[in-house]
């Protein structure tokens, strides 16, 4: 079986990356992680290094401006020759160079039920609004902030005693299998999504 190459972009602990790597270790998995890129010295890079997967750190501070960083990121992803790019806790908006190169083939997760509570504080905003149900969303990335086409969602109950940390941890636990399921479907060509162009 020829497995579909995916690149994963992270900024933090890499819990979603770890879930993707566990899935990719299964013989029947339709995808393989060919490289992991971070925008900082993220602890999650260790998941990739332990698995022998190439890693790269592309810091904004190492480039003349944001446009130069956008070009460097796109160039690094392109060198990996992925068919799908997965933003797994990547905390920067991707710029036009990456969108131009991989439009329709970039997916991202968000810790809320979009279109509600977009942006960097989806969990905090949901709690502040007093909703009884939040959750996780996987979207196809476009040029907006969490405005792309929704590919899948999973609800997570909000409990009266929840702190932001508590709720976020439960959302992450639901988000990981959801992301793996979506990436499996896209890379196997079974889902009407970005992989329609694979």
- Enzyme catalytic residues: 110
Closest-CA residue to 15 (of 43, 39, 41, 35): 43
Alpha helices in 29-136 (DSSP H): 45-50, 66-80, 96-102, 122-129
**Distance from C-alpha of 122 to C-alpha of 91, rounded to nearest angstrom:** 13
CA atoms of 29 and 61, how far apart (whole Å):
37
- Residues β-bridged to residue 41: none
């Amino acid at each position: 079986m020829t497995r579909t190459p995916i690149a994963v972009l992270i900024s933090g602990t890499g819990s979603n990356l770890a879930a993707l790597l566990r899935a990719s270790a299964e013989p029947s998995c339709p995808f393989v992680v060919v490289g992991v890129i971070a925008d900082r010295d993220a602890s999650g890079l260790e998941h990739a290094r332990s698995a022998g997967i190439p890693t790269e750190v592309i810091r904004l501070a190492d480039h003349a401006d944001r446009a130069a960083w956008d070009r460097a990121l796109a160039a690094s992803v392109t060198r990996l020759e992925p068919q799908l790019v997965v933003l797994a806790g990547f905390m920067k908006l991707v710029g036009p160079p990456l969108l131009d190169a991989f439009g329709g083939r970039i997916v991202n997760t968000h810790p809320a039920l979009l279109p509600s509570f977009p942006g960097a504080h989806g969990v905090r905003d949901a709690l502040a609004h007093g909703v009884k149900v939040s959750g996780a969303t996987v979207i196809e990335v476009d040029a907006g902030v969490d405005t792309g086409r929704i590919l899948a969602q999973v609800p997570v109950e909000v409990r009266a005693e929840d702190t932001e940390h508590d709720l976020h941890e439960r959302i992450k636990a639901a988000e990981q299998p959801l992301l793996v399921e979506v990436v499996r479907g896209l890379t196997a060509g079974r889902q009407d999504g970005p992989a329609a162009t694979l």
